[in-house]
Amino acid sequence: MDEFSKRALVFPLTLFLCSLLIWAVSDSLPATLFFSFFLFIRWVLAVRQLAALDYWLHDPEGRAVPDGTGLWEDVFARLNKMVRQHRDERLQSATALRQMEQATSALPEGVVILDEADRIEWCNPLAEKHFGLDSARDIGQQITYLARQPEFVQYLAQRDFNEPLVFRTDRQEGLTLSVKLIAYSASKKLLTSRDITRFEHIETMRRDFVANVSHELRTPLTVVNGFVETLSDMPKLDNDLARRALSLMGEQTLRMGRLVEDLLTLSKLDNALNALHEETVKTSALLRTVYEEGLTLSSEKHVLRLEIESDCNLLGNTEELRSAFSNLVSNAIRYTPQGGEITLRLQEKDGQPIFSVKDSGLGIASKHIPRLTERFYRVDHSRSRETGGTGLGLAIVKHVTIRHQAQLAIASEEGKGSTFSIVFPAKRRLSSQEVKAA
């Protein structure tokens, strides 16, 4: 006997006891029988309707909502309406899901939906190709079990998805992917992947072209500059026009030489295969060297100050940091009028080493600041030609900063000077004790 039948027997037993009680009180058998029969009929009808409802509830998808009488008719009508609405909503959801799957399948990017534990909930065909997945088999699996490239696993573990990750896959030779994670709810993430193999090949060709041309220009420029210097030193060169021409030729040859050197430096920094060679950078000694170079470049036309407010060292590459620091100092000297002040400072804030160069120069309008680190971007073309800049200094600074996981901060106001700061992460800070222990 099921639970429903057991509960259905409770009412007849209760009715029998109530009838005995009524008979004992009223002492009228016909009235008691009539009352009991009436309640019994109502109970039978109610049990019949409840049995039909119970039968339907065991398989609401495969069985029709039962018909009823009286109040039960209204109840079953409402249930029937709710069932129809539920079926319509489910059909609409299924249709929307199919349309979404069709749309994402047509996207030129791979798409994977991950849960809070990085388990795969859904992926489109292009993602299957990129990561070697099988949607029929791999749903519910952690994506790192299937895509095991160390850089990709580390990218997921770090939970810092502000920048996309570029890496070469192991499953398909020569395939380079750019992947990015986007959190779109408290527990869901969207993983997108894009095949950038062709763009990477074009970028490699561009870098190689720039590097090769720059390298080939070195020798002829050196030869030309040597002859220009030789001709300029000739004692019998009395023609003023010739001397002026040789002087200009020498200046422009040196400028071209600096441009070639900067292009080669950028090409080297740009090369993804050129991993950062880390070492202990003794910042105090490095800054004193940069300071001395600044004094030489300024030729006593400016007031230079060096303020070392921290004795910390850095974990990084000495030559790259020297290049970045020197470029900031040389820019400050070039764009600060004679008699201006330039301050080189090393300090710490919240455990982060900060190198900054502050000048009292002409300043930069705010609209130019976002583009300052672009290659060959000029705020003032005529002023840049006068100072002899290559237009690549801040681009070099930007690349060195990125390679050291640091940030370049620029604060400037027209007529009041500028401050360029490189803020290093705390993990690159080395105390004196750590250096001695090493």
Q: What's the CATH number where 370 sits? A: 3.30.565.10
Backbone angles phi, psi at 258, to 5 degrees: -65, -40
Residue where a domain terminates, one of 44, 59, 89: 89
Please indicate, yes or no, whether residues 191 and 203 belong to a single structural domain of this protein. no
Q: Is residue 98 assigned to a domain?
A: no
Is 95 part of any domain? no
Please report the pLDDT score of residue 254 as a whole number. Answer: 77
Residue 401, in any domain of the structure: yes
Distance CA 33, CA 40 (A): 10
Domain boundary among 223, 252, 270: 270
229 and 177 fall within a common domain: no
CA geometry: angle at 175 spanning 172 and 178, to 5°? Answer: 125
The whole domain housing 238 covers 199-270
Q: What's the Cα-to-Cα distance from 418 to each of 75, 340, 342, 397, rounded to whole Å?
A: 77, 12, 10, 16
| Of 55, 57, 179, nearest in space to 110 by CA | 179
The verdict on residue 96 lying in a domain is no
Pair 179, 307 in one domain:
no
| In a shared domain, residues 52 and 148 | no
Q: Which residues contact 101 (CB under 8 A, 6 or more apart)?
A: 122, 124
Same domain, 168 and 85: no
Residue 100 lies inside a defined structural domain of this protein:
no
Q: Are residues 393 and 288 in the same domain?
A: yes
State the total domains in the chain: 4
Are residues 255 and 345 both part of a single domain? Answer: no
From 43, 61, 89, give the residue that closes a domain.
89
Beta carbons within 10 angstroms of residue 372's beta carbon: 21
Report if residue 99 sits inside a domain. Answer: no
pTM reported for the whole predicted model: 0.57
Residues 297 and 230 in one domain: no
Judgement on whether residues 175 and 256 belong to the same structural domain of the protein: no
Whether residue 344 is contained in a domain is answered as yes
In this structure, the answer to whether residues 204 and 188 fall within a common structural domain is no
For residues 253 and 283, state if they share a domain. Answer: no
Domain membership flag for residue 55: yes
pLDDT at 431: 73
Per-residue pLDDT 10s for the chain (438 aa) are 455 455 555 555 565 556 556 555 555 556 555 556 555 666 666 667 777 777 777 777 667 767 766 666 777 777 777 877 888 888 888 888 777 777 767 777 888 888 888 898 888 888 888 888 887 888 888 888 888 888 888 888 877 777 788 888 776 677 888 888 888 877 888 888 888 888 877 777 777 777 777 777 777 877 777 777 777 777 766 677 777 777 778 777 777 777 777 777 777 777 766 678 889 999 999 999 999 999 998 888 999 999 999 888 999 999 999 999 999 998 899 888 888 999 999 999 988 999 999 998 888 888 888 888 888 777 765 555 555 566 788 888 998 999 899 999 999 888 888 999 999 999 999 876 655 555
- C-alpha–C-alpha distance, residues 177 and 113, integer Å: 17
pLDDT at residue 12, as a whole number:
58
Q: Are residues 390 and 316 in the same domain?
A: yes
Residue 211: which CATH number?
Answer: 1.10.287
For residue 190, what is the domain's CATH number? 3.30.450.20
